[in-house]
Amino acid sequence: MKANRAIPYVPLAVCALLAAGFASGARAQSTAPAQILLDGKVVGNIGGFVLSTDLKARLNGESTNNADVDFDKTFGKGSDQTRARADVLWRITPTQHLRFLYFQNTTQRKRVIDEDIQWGDDVFTAGGEVKATNKFNIAEVAYEYAFIRQPTFELAGTLGVHWMDIGIKLKGDAMITDSEGNTTSVSGTSKKGSVSAPLPVIGIRAGWVVAPQVYLDAQAQYFKAKVDNIDGSVLDLRAGATWMFSQNFGVGAGYNRFTTNVKVEKNNFDGRLRMGYQGLQVFLTGAF
């Protein structure tokens, strides 16, 4: 399943949380373990994913705009993957918060390709084995203001910055074109494109204590901007449920969808990239 085909569970979850928060007249007991997720000074989640990805990219040559490479179709699933996400919320005051996010997705895939791949000025030739390594890291810092605070419900607006670090490298047999237009066949050559860029985001987040040990939350972030020769957009949707098995610790599961589209005009990456993921996240929670 591709990220752009996802059923919009998360927007529906946000709406459901908002409706439930306004409609609910329930009040959680002050000793309820889940209440600390709404009132705690520091709340953190860390976990991994079972997910699907959607990666399409092109690296232009000196004088050509190359076709997009569909990495999932060309190389299949990754043989070596690291996917993790960590979130930390710091409540400076009950209504003013700072939120931090870090996400890492590293994938290695190797396959004998069926057709030529144009990657920059290199052409990786059909019939040869090519190894693709994709590294995708995100760090975010955001300011939150909770404009609705109830004993069991919170609704906050966010304004922040995503810092993205993306690298794609192909290694295998290729025809290399030099600056004078001469081509040479090289075995085991590698070609990498990478880009690092800040992209601002705005969003909304809701949290609701639905039972003494159960907390629901959802958030949505989006922005589109052109910054420093990078024209890009970011969409980040997430919904989750946490069961607090003690006063300070819990486990949870959620759904996360992330999509970024960037067009880059830089020396180390002149081209276009679409990166998306979606799937189930399982995480541990701590609150103090």
pLDDT tens-place string over residues 38-58 = 999 999 999 988 777 788 999
CATH number of the domain encompassing residue 243: 2.40.128
pLDDT score recorded for residue 210: 97
- Domain assignment of residue 166, yes or no: yes
The larger pLDDT score, comparing residue 166 to residue 34, is at: 34
Query: Could you tell me if 263 and 199 are in contact, meaning their C-beta atoms sit under 8 angstroms apart?
Result: no
- Domain assignment of residue 208, yes or no: no
Alpha-carbon distance values, 45 to 49, 100, 180, 271 (Å):
13, 11, 53, 35
Query: Could you tell me if 257 and 275 are in contact, meaning their C-beta atoms sit under 8 angstroms apart?
Result: no
DSSP, collapsed to helix, strand or coil, labels residue 276 as strand
Residue range 225-235: mean pLDDT, rounded: 84
Identify the domain containing residue 68 by its residue range: 3-197+213-287
pLDDT(278) > 70: yes
Q: What is the CA radius of gyration of the chain?
A: 22
Q: How many domains does the chain have?
A: 1
Query: Could you tell me if 41 and 286 are in contact, meaning their C-beta atoms sit under 8 angstroms apart?
Result: no
- Domain assignment of residue 205, yes or no: no
- Domain assignment of residue 156, yes or no: yes
Residue range 131-155: mean pLDDT, rounded: 95
pLDDT range class, residue 199, cuts 50, 70, 90:
confident
Amino acid identity for residue 180 in this structure: E
| Percentage of the chain modeled with pLDDT above 90 | 50
- Domain assignment of residue 274, yes or no: yes
- pLDDT-wise least confident of 98-102, 178-182, 245-249, 281-285: 178-182
- Domain assignment of residue 168, yes or no: yes
- Domain assignment of residue 204, yes or no: no
In this prediction the pTM is 0.81
Apex 197 CA angle, 191 and 199, nearest 5? 140
